[in-house]
Structure 1
Amino acid sequence: MTGWKSARIPALTRRLWIVLLVVAVCVLCVSPVIMLIAGAFRTSPPGLPGEWSTAPFLEAYADPATYSTFGSSVVLAVSTKLISTALAVYFCWVVARTTSPLRGLVTPIMLFVFAMPTLFFALSWGMLGNPDVGLLNKPFEALFGMSPINVNSWWGLIMVIALKSTASSYILLIGPFLALSRSLEEASFVSGASRMRTFFRINVPVLAPAITGILILGFVVGLSSLDAALIIGVPAGITVFPTHLFGHLYNSATPDYAQASALSLLLVAITVVLVWAQGRVLGKRQFTTVTGKAYQQEPWDIGPWRHVCVAAIVVYGLLAMVLPLAQLILGSLQPVFGLYGALTFDNYRELFAEPDIVSAFQATLTVSIVGGLIAMLLAVALQYVVRRHPGRLTRVITFATWLPWALPGIVLGLAMSWAYLSIPGLREIYGTVWILMIALIVTVTPIAGRVAEGAIVQLSHELEESARTSGATSLRALVGIVGRLILPSFISGWFVTALVISGSFDVPILMSTSTNRTIPVVVYELYTQGRTPLAAAAFCVLLAVVAVIAAVGLLYRRRMLKVRARSVSTGQSTR
């Protein structure tokens, strides 16, 4: 009986900890969605007493602007996603299937464009395509006395979002492309099909799950794209659904949270329907491509067509990386935007002379570094529990942590405002940098979870069992064995999550006050105030800090990998 009790108590304790973890995750991740739904029927702002009413919901959907702006967003989302997915598929094919020169540059370019926050990417193109003083128009103005490029237009908005979205689509598609087997293509060639027909009749259908998933994700992101719409669309008089929703909250003297919440539910419903539709269409089909000994990955020699591939790589690199970065750096050195003859560092001096901007840098670094660390620690703990103790409760953890990721950024920021202003304890710290950190940790935990999952699934449970058999406690085995082995991946995930947090705009813009603004919020305010060179300088400083942190992290990770390889070789030589 005593033995049964001693064995039973640890099991009950472990289950209690899992229950507490589930409750905490639900409070942080699920409650915002519940409060968002409830907020659509409240007559008061978040955290204040009010009454239940359907009037805000009905008024939101009786407004003709709701449908006109939503139609504009559908056009924008469909056009940008079709273009970006087509470009991503093309570049993946170039990298994975051809011997084209410069194909090795594609992935680094895509990683840089992906890492560059959308707000700063849109800001750089807003400066590049300025019809009066933009870097692209200056040569034409000098030679022909005209400025043919105006990015503040429908075509400009579509182009900017498509260029940015191509990078994320490429990163998600390159893995499936590299895993494609040549056996299916060889069978198509033997049947007399050309390479073009083989590509569209074999490769594209086989990649249907990945491509449709990216199309669905991109469509939802396009519907809720706020950064580029504010920087490029608003000056051109283009109003889309996110800016219409944003106007209810940010540009209004009296924010209408109820109507904004009601409008947000439309985006949530569309996300759910699209994910369900993808499962219905593709759920019963087979897409096996990696088989046994016939599996091959040899690239194609495309002959003269390689020049077309090189041209595409160069053009995309110029438009998506070189020109935007050059414009931001050059703009940060101009005393007045567009004055190219007198460059100065005065903007950088002014940045560090303004206490509000310095405070924003401090808040951004704090939220990014500490928030990224906490997000990775939380992700490791959650993934460890999910992998080591599978069951219904742990499935709830997986669902809860991914739920906020399915919400558009501006919707998530609104949902968190509703939830955190209604939870005792969190309400008291609203308006501080800590509440912003909590919201951003919830936002990036799914990303951190993917990194942690990839590291933990590679570890056998036998390693911990051996440590405990040798007398180590569970905590010591977890830290000493699992912690050390996943440390390189942990550092990489920490950097990625910190990078995402530092460039986040949708959530901070809705939850920021004068005391907890981050650099993206400050940059947007500077740009809308006409202080464009100062906004560019702020981005360049943030970019320099990120570059230094990345360099230190890469050097440390490389050193750790060398130490591990040396220890492995020493052990082998000893045997």
Structure 2
Amino acid sequence: MSKPFDRQLDRPTGPAPANRLRRIEPGMVLWLAVGAVLVFLVTCPLLRLASASLQDPQTGQLTLANYRDAYGSVRNLHALLNSLELGIGVALLSCVFGLPIAWANSRTDMPAKSFVRLLVLGAFVTPPYLSAISWILLAGPNSGWLNRAWMTLTGAGHGVFNIYSMPGLIVVVAATSYPYVFVFTNSALDLLSSEMEDAANILGAGIWRTAFRVTLPLVLPAILGGLIVTFLEAIALFGAPAMIALPARFHVASTQLWQFFDYPVRVEEAAAYCMPLLLITLLMVWLQRRLIRRKGFVAVTGKGGARRPIRLGRWRWVLLAHAVLVGAISVILPAVTLLQAAFTKAWARGLSLDNLTLGNFRYLLVEQTQAQQAIVNTLLYAAATAFASIALALMIAYMESRKLVRWSGALAYLCMTPFVIPGVVLAIGFYAAYAAPPLALYGTAMIVILAFTTRFLPIAYTSCAAGMLSIHPEMEEAVRILGGDRLTAIRKVLAPVLKRSLAGTWILVFIPAARELSVAIFLVGPNTRVISVMLFDLSEEGNFELLAALGVILLVVSVGIAALGWRMIGRDFMLRSH
């Protein structure tokens, strides 16, 4: 008696499965695939890194021996402490370099602002390892140009500068990191009106008291953001520390990680050693957000108020001198030194007509097949990274802004996760996840492009998400009413409207991808070397002339791409994606 009743209860009350499948948009398969790709790029390497740190390399069983081996060595602990010292020093010096320039550029009548912004852009596109090479030629003990000039002028028997030291390393890294402080602070200052500064002046506050008590506290979250980014960049760098710290006989965390990849490769121990870097990064980001939340900063007048430049009188020339001095340290002196070494037969002989040559460039561009391959690889990998990261970021930003799937917010969070992952940690995660069979991607172009795409995905997503907020969904609805699907709306509406913003994003991804070393040094093989890795190899050989020429080629490409963005999108294309 109960069987018919039971069968009636079991009968489905909603649409049949086939009908439900028909109701699913064809584009839904694409959204699911995009989510799967993002999880594959971001989550898998981190999970594999964590599991490898707890895995016995011989038996595969769970163990804490990797952590004991990684932190049982005093040398490894010193390297980690040196990284913290480097990060703190770079963050503070970057603030000293960049904060006055940002304030003067945005709020005052300092002259030559366009020239100053050009110097900042030059520092942004200069790779830290190229700056390190230049400063080795400038401030090497007793042989650098500055030391030789000092000995000639004073008659001293030794130079006064020593680049092979922790202070020397801090100056070199800060010289290429301070643009982050400038960009973050300048962007925030441009949004503030002058009303509160005017009120402070009416109450008797002078220029400097107003700046320190009113203006800068209002943009403190932006300043903290710049400091956090410079700190994280410094502790994750490999090239500049390898070129300066190793000859100085001290290690930082990134160079110590490189030691784990000497034969025999100790991936599990390297994974265990990576964990503090990841935890420190997460702690810094959490601290920044907590400080901002507790302070409760608010831009009172927003964009509506007027901004009037502060008249500094004679002080404007002091600020200009500071900006030019920072530009000389970060751009002018390194560029002149690099060019001199690139066009000479022997850089130690100085600048003379009989020492000038184009042979270094001819050798690299015509005769040296490895250099030619490295140049081609660099351009291809950087371009592929820019296209891939923008395509993925645009799709995720569209899914999140239009709430196409329930878990789109989690995907947006995953897009920003690589921001808090140091490059060396990400590289070792990719090595642990994809180097071994069945994928066996180590040394291939695929693993380099995938790692680069993951590394710079936050840049692309930030820009794409901001662009999505400026486009009303009604434009896409019009396309769908006329019979188009969401993919057609993206292709016909969103992409054309956002093309200038996407072009700027492409440039902002291409430039750091073309100069990336911290990730590439762990993942490239003999046939996939890029310019940054070849520069590092040449530095170990001591061939400064060829090294400088190859560095000039990389700079010409980077500056050319940046100049194209400046011309097509405007001088503020750097600021629009931050």
**Would the TM-score normalized by the shorter structure come out above 0.5?**
yes
1:183–1:294: 8 Å Cα contact kept in structure 2? no
What TM-score do you get using the length of structure 2 for normalisation?
Answer: 0.89
Change over 3 Å in CA distance of 1:221–1:475 after alignment to 2: closer
**Are residues 1:61 and 2:71 paired?**
yes
Q: Which residue of 2 is the match for residue 570 of structure 1?
A: none
| Separation of aligned partners in 2, 1:549 and 1:97 | 29
1:77–1:220: 8 Å Cα contact kept in structure 2? yes
Q: Which residue of 2 is the match for residue 503 of structure 1?
A: 515
Change over 3 Å in CA distance of 1:50–1:289 after alignment to 2: same
Match of 1:114 among 98, 121, 124: 124
Match of 1:446 among 458, 468, 474: 458
Change over 3 Å in CA distance of 1:321–1:32 after alignment to 2: same
User: 5 Å matches for 1:31-430?
Assistant: 31-44=44-57, 50-146=60-156, 147-249=159-261, 252-291=262-301, 295-340=305-350, 341=352, 342-352=355-365, 353-389=367-403, 392-421=406-435, 424=438, 427-430=439-442
1:30–1:403: 8 Å Cα contact kept in structure 2? no
| Separation of aligned partners in 1, 2:35 and 2:304 | 45
Moved more, 137-146 or 315-324: 137-146
The CA deviation at 1:511 is 0.5
Q: Which residue of 2 is the match for residue 470 of structure 1?
A: 482
Q: Give the SS at the match of 1:506.
A: coil
Q: Give the SS at the match of 2:348.
A: coil
Letter aligned with residue 90 of structure 1: P
Q: Which residue of 2 is the match for residue 516 of structure 1?
A: 528
Q: Give the SS at the match of 1:236.
A: coil
Stretches of structure 2 lacking an aligned partner (at least 5 in a row): 1-13, 571-578
2:393–2:415: 8 Å Cα contact kept in structure 1? no
Aligned length: 551
Letter aligned with residue 243 of structure 1: T
| Separation of aligned partners in 1, 2:433 and 2:417 | 14
Q: Give the SS at the match of 2:246.
A: helix
Match of 1:461 among 468, 473, 488: 473
Q: Give the SS at the match of 2:380.
A: helix
User: 5 Å matches for 1:520-531?
Assistant: 520-531=532-543
Letter aligned with residue 205 of structure 2: A
- Write out per-residue CA displacement over residues 250-301 of structure 1, whole angstroms, 9 at most, x where no aligned residue: xx33222222211110011112222223333331443222427982311111
Q: Which residue of 2 is the match for residue 562 of structure 1?
A: none
Moved more, 541-550 or 380-389: 541-550
Match of 2:36 among 19, 23, 36: 23
Q: Which residue of 2 is the match for residue 535 of structure 1?
A: 547
What TM-score do you get using the length of structure 1 for normalisation?
Answer: 0.89
Letter aligned with residue 401 of structure 2: R
| Separation of aligned partners in 2, 1:396 and 1:373 | 23
The CA deviation at 1:536 is 0.8
- Write out per-residue CA displacement over residues 400-431 of structure 1, whole angstroms, 9 at most, x where no aligned residue: 1222221111111111111223574xx24331
The CA deviation at 1:40 is 1.0
Letter aligned with residue 267 of structure 1: L
- Write out per-residue CA displacement over residues 24-43 of structure 1, whole angstroms, 9 at most, x where no aligned residue: 21111111111111111223
- Write out per-residue CA displacement over residues 518-556 of structure 1, whole angstroms, 9 at most, x where no aligned residue: 110000000111111111111112222334445556666
1:429–1:435: 8 Å Cα contact kept in structure 2? yes
The CA deviation at 1:344 is 1.0
Moved more, 321-330 or 78-87: 78-87
2:385–2:450: 8 Å Cα contact kept in structure 1? yes
Letter aligned with residue 55 of structure 2: R
Letter aligned with residue 456 of structure 2: V
Moved more, 481-490 or 530-539: 481-490
Stretches of structure 1 lacking an aligned partner (at least 5 in a row): 559-575
Change over 3 Å in CA distance of 1:28–1:294 after alignment to 2: closer
Moved more, 106-115 or 179-188: 179-188
